[in-house]
A and B are shown apart, each in its own frame.
Chain A
Amino acid sequence: MDFMPHLVVVPVVLPLIAAALLILLGEKRRRARVLVNIGATLAGLLAALAILWQVDSGGEPAAIGVYLAANWEAPFGIVLVADRLSALMLVLAGIVGLFAAVYAEAAWARGGMYFHPLFQLQLMGLNGAFLTGDLFNLFVFFEVMLAASYGLQLHGSGWPRVRSGLHYIAVNLLASSLFLIGLAVLYGVMGTLSMADIAAKLASVPGSDRGMLHAGAAILAVAFLIKAAAWPLNAWLVPAYTAASAPVAALFAVMTKVGVYILVRLWTLLFSDGPSMNFGSDVLLYAGLATIAFGVLGLMATLRPGRIAGYSILVSSGTLLAALGMGNAAVTSAALFYMLSATMAVSVLFLFVELVGRIGKDGQPDLVGVDDEPSEDTNLDDEELPLVGQAFPISLALLGLGFIAAGLLVAGLPPFSGFIAKVSLLQAVLAIQPGDKASDVASQSAAFWIVGLVLFAGLATMVSLARTGIRHFWSTGGRLTSQVKIVEGASVLGLLFACALLTVFAEPVLRYTNAAAADLHAPQPYVNTVLATRPRPGPTRSVYVEEEAP
């Protein structure tokens, strides 16, 4: 396995350097800042793709890239680990980050100070959380990510942002406290914070300590469930994401997946087998189902496009948690594909919310933010507004077609990747036989609940988005105008194009997620590789020598 020696640390270091550079550039040199921001994000995406390529080139089991950050071996020093799942998440964050960065240049980047450095720090926190193999280091990267997200959420200021930001920060500070408590309990039981080391020592924990271990893992999981927006810990998400500016909300769609990622990582690492096998899987399953149900209710109840996008995030989070709770490799694989598709789709939707909100703004009261029916005089048949023969701006046509595509993606209807994701997910769920390893966890009734709720969520999303489309594209009354800048249109279309690529190349991607899920559910190679990595000889000590036993 010849990993490029420092490639794994690039997704963390690159945004950090870029952020420092952006602060140094100051507020004056706008063009330089734009170049640095987009260039660094693009370079990060390329590095993520390189990591993905290297991880996947190793065949079975995957070539796992381990980076000893301080040149100390695993249980003592902090390690960064790139396996298939991490690489996939890095690429996802890179793609969404790139298009959000491009989109922001149209207007939002000038809406306040320090947008660019915060954006880069947010990417750094995300990438670090995806790469780290140490629990406390994970906490630090979480805090980097959250601190940047507080600033980004408030970007542009205004009362709705400050109000929802206040709640968002308070909830996340509480979640951080829970994170620390769970981490401390785990350390008290295991005596180590390296994820691989915990997994290796888990089998030797005596029965008397196992209750404490489970308590620690459960408290830790609550912190991640808050980040993943599982019901009933998700009341903060919709107001905060709706109030945030469009490119920020698009990037936040990835941030919710960090909670899911950590749950997938730790749960499969710790509870794939051994005496604590499948600990808490029922909770994940039913929390996921409840989250889908809550998201569906929200989707049906709201008319505001921003809130629809927020509730779509809840639906996708719930689907992922429920799929994880099944504890089955095939279901996990489909869920990973679903995560790719759903995250990009919701990001597109968040970008569209702003563009759609601009339609017909002149002379008409702003429909966004008003939860009532259009008034009588916005009738389409109104003689004063001859719609027939009126020139139809091409930007509006593109906007409408793009909105339809985004709707199909989020709802999971053919022909886009959302459909493939849902079909493979449902297929995998229904394929679980009563005799399988997972049968005691996922009873048949749970499988049918998942199928029913996922399908109903698709219907609810479609109804809700169709309603939004009708309200904003057809019954706007006033002149059909929309001001879409080329940059905005390009980034939205680019993200849609990425979804289209995901649709076309669904087979290799599914092959990849299959391998990733197989790696996750058989974590022994991961543990062995991380613990077996030895420090490199440095310039001062030529060869690292194990201390000889006397």
Chain B
Amino acid sequence: MEVLLALVIGVFGGAGVWLVLRPRTFQVVMGLTLLSYAVNLFIFSVGGLFLDKPPLVTPGLPTDLEHYTDPLPQALVLTAIVIGFATTALFLVVLLASRGLSGTDHVDGARDES
């Protein structure tokens, strides 16, 4: 499970970085989105990966870390997802404004030369 998650984070992160470095604004947005997926999964993973362990205190289970998973990374991921979603939406608005003002979706607004 750890290997799979690490691979997924790596692929998302790598693809995200590659896309962010592309010259089209749409590719940059997709890259930023993939990067935020990678970051969110990474935050989730620092709490450790366990099966069948609740993050909340349940009646009947002794309250020690043997029986529970760390709830904090899950809370952090939730906040990070919301904030990342909002800022990406804001970026999309600016992207549309840039598209409208320059008539191209190049990040510098330059005419296509390739």
A134-172 CB mask vs B (1 if < 8 Å, else 0) is 001001100100110010001001010011011101100
- In angstroms, Cα B97 to Cα A162, docked, is 7
Q: A147-B90, A184-B42 are in contact. Are A166 and B98 (CB under 8 A)?
A: yes
A203 to chain B, nearest CB (A): 22
CA distance A166 to B42 in the complex (A): 27
- Pairwise interchain contact A162-B91, C-beta atoms closer than 8 A: no
With A150-B94, A159-B109, A170-B28 already in contact, the answer to whether A176 and B87 are too (CB < 8 A) is yes
Query: Of A140, A166, A184, which is within 8 A of B83 by CB?
Result: A140
Complex CA–CA separation, A239 to B46 (angstroms)? 37
Interface size in chain B (residues, C-beta < 8 A)? 31
Q: Is A398 an interface residue (CB 8 A)?
A: no
Partner of B86, one of A147, A184, A188, A193: A147
Is the beta-carbon distance between A169 and B91 smaller than 8 angstroms?
yes
- Considering only CB atoms, which chain A residue lies closest to B90 in the complex? A150
Binary contact readout B50-73 vs A (1 if CB under 8 angstroms, 0 otherwise): 000000000000000000000011
Chain A: interface secondary structure?
Answer: helix
Majority secondary structure of chain B interface residues (helix, strand, loop or mixed): helix
A21 in the interface, Cβ–Cβ < 8 Å? no
Query: Which B residues touch A150, using CB under 8 A?
Result: 87, 90, 94
Q: Report how many A-B pairs have Cβ atoms within 8 Å.
A: 84
Which residue of the partner chain, among A146, A169, A174, contacts B94 with CB atoms under 8 Å?
A: A169
Q: Which residue of A lies closest to B95 (CB)?
A: A166
* Cβ contact of A146, chosen from B25, B79, B87, B109, cutoff 8 A: B87
Select A173's contact among B76, B79, B88, B108, beta carbons within 8 Å.
B88
Alpha-carbon gap, A150 to B98, bound state (A): 14
B43 and A180 within 8 A (CB):
yes
* Cα(A173)–Cα(B16), bound, Å: 12
Docked complex Cα distance between A157 and B100 (Å):
12
Identify the A interface with B (CB < 8 A). Answer: 136, 139-140, 143, 146-147, 150, 154, 157, 159, 162-163, 165-167, 169-170, 173-174, 176-177, 180-181, 183-185, 187-188, 193
Besides A159-B102, A170-B91, 4 new A-B residue pairs in contact (Cβ under 8 A), listed by A number? A140-B83, A166-B91, A166-B95, A193-B72
Residues of B within 8 A of A (CB): 20, 25, 28, 32, 35-36, 39, 42-43, 46, 72-73, 76, 79-80, 83-84, 86-88, 90-91, 94-95, 97-98, 101-102, 107-109
